[in-house]
């Protein structure tokens, strides 16, 4: 299904900032460039060394023929959809295959699957899902429960996810949500076992934040928002992303800037409504079960890097400086 849906990209080329990452990226041509990818943060647009190493390998396999790059992206997307299926089955979610099929074919995935630069989403997603699958098999009852090999595999896969794109740093918090849902409570051991994951995720997130600020350009007046204004952005972003999942119309690379005004009463309806949903689902968890609350919490936790509390820029794409605090990027 995935391959059939993405047949049109076989005739697609390079777009937008594919030149920054591939076509005009001299680091991809030499062994010294591979060394710089890993050892010189700032040598590449973002310090995602495993992703840029894949670009390096693709360059030596396909030169500058876009077909090979596109095929790799589609294959990774299909593999990721299959991993979603396996993860949901491990969590005993009804309709796991259908959910994975929606994941594979949903329009919001097109940018990630069809844009060569967004290999970072696909590759980090691959390792994120592998880490999640390994950890759930380790932590939940069933074959492999308690296996040190599975724990080590999860940690290694998480490291690979972070080195592909640090937005995956939310994984340990998401795992705690899943464990709470399946067990009905969290144990001290659950938190202790995830401490190495949290340390790795926070460390990589701090590096990315620093590079986004001083290398990519996420600083200045466009990012000068107060805490109340950032809360307004966060509340609105939650509904924005949820809305695009339900009604995926008008999708684009970057969306028009929101006018954030903490004195406008109606703008507070977004974060208040989001909080009300969480409180309401907590209140009815005995009747509806914990699954709706867990799904909502997972959604919010995973979106955390894009909610506006951390400044990021897409100026490397040669658009106007954009930030998750003031603009809605489609990533």
Structure-token match 């992206």, residue found: 73
Report whether pLDDT(103) > 60.
yes
CA end-to-end distance (rounded Å), the chain: 23
Mean per-residue pLDDT, 45-68: 95
Question: Which band of pLDDT confidence, cut at 50, 70 and 90, is reported for residue 312?
Answer: low
C-alpha–C-alpha distance, residues 13 and 51, integer Å: 19
Is 271:279 a contact under the CB 8 Å cutoff?
Answer: no
Q: What does the pLDDT read at residue 253?
A: 85
Report whether pLDDT(213) > 90.
no
Note the pLDDT tens digit of each residue in 229-258: 889 999 999 999 999 999 999 998 888 888
The HSE-up count of residue 72 (CA atoms within 13 Å, CB side) is: 22
Q: What does the pLDDT read at residue 46?
A: 85
C-alpha–C-alpha distance, residues 260 and 51, integer Å: 34
Among candidate residues 321, 142, 292, 302, the one with its CA nearest the CA of residue 238: 302
Q: List the single range of 154-158, 183-187, 309-313 with lowest mean pLDDT.
A: 309-313
* Mean of pLDDT over the chain: 89
Q: What does the pLDDT read at residue 307?
A: 86
Q: Give me 239's structure tokens.
A: 């509904």
- Which residues are CB-contacts of 100 (< 8 A; sequence separation ≥ 6)? 81, 82, 84, 85, 88
Q: Give me 265's structure tokens.
A: 């009463």
Report whether pLDDT(118) > 70.
yes
Secondary structure (H, E, C), 187-245: CHHHHHHHHHHHHHHHHHHHHHHHHHHHHHCCCCHHHCCCHHHHHHHHHHHHHHHHHHH
**310 conformational bin, left if phi > 0, alpha if psi -120 to 50, beta if neither:** beta
Q: What does the pLDDT read at residue 319?
A: 33
Note the pLDDT tens digit of each residue in 3-43: 999 999 989 999 988 999 999 999 999 999 999 999 998 88
Break the chain into its structural domains and give their ranges.
1-216, 218-331
């Amino acid at each position: 299904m995935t391959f059939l849906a993405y047949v049109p990209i076989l005739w697609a080329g390079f777009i937008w900032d594919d030149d920054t990452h591939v076509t005009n990226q001299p680091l991809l041509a030499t062994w010294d460039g591979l060394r710089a990818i890993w050892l010189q943060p700032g040598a590449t647009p973002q310090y995602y060394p495993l992703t840029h190493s894949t670009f390096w390998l693709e360059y030596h396999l396909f030169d500058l023929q876009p077909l090979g790059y596109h095929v790799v992206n589609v294959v990774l997307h299909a593999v990721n959809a299959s991993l979603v299926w396996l993860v949901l089955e491990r969590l005993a979610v009804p309709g796991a295959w259908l959910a994975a099929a929606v994941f594979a074919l949903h329009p919001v995935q097109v940018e990630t699957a069809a844009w060569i630069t967004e290999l970072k989403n696909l590759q980090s997603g691959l390792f994120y899902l592998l880490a999640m699958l390994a950890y759930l098999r380790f932590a939940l009852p069933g074959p492999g429960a308690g296996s040190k090999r599975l724990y080590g595999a999860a940690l290694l896969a998480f490291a690979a996810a972070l080195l592909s794109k640090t937005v995956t740093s939310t994984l340990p918090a998401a795992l705690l949500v899943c464990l709470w849902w399946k067990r009905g409570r969290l144990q001290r051991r659950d938190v202790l076992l995830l401490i190495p994951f949290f340390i790795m995720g926070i460390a990589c997130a701090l590096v990315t934040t620093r590079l986004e600020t001083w290398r990519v350009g996420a600083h200045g007046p466009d990012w000068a928002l107060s805490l109340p204004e950032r809360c307004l952005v966060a509340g609105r972003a939650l509904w924005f992303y949820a809305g695009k999942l339900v009604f995926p119309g008008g999708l684009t690379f970057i969306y028009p800037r929101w006018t954030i005004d903490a004195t406008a009463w109606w703008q507070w309806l977004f974060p208040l409504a989001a909080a009300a949903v969480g409180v309401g689902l907590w209140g009815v968890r005995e009747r509806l079960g914990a699954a709706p609350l867990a799904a909502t919490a997972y959604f919010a936790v995973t979106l955390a890097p894009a909610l506006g509390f951390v400044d990021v820029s897409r100026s490397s794409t040669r658009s106007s400086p954009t930030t998750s605090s003031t603009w809605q990027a489609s990533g």
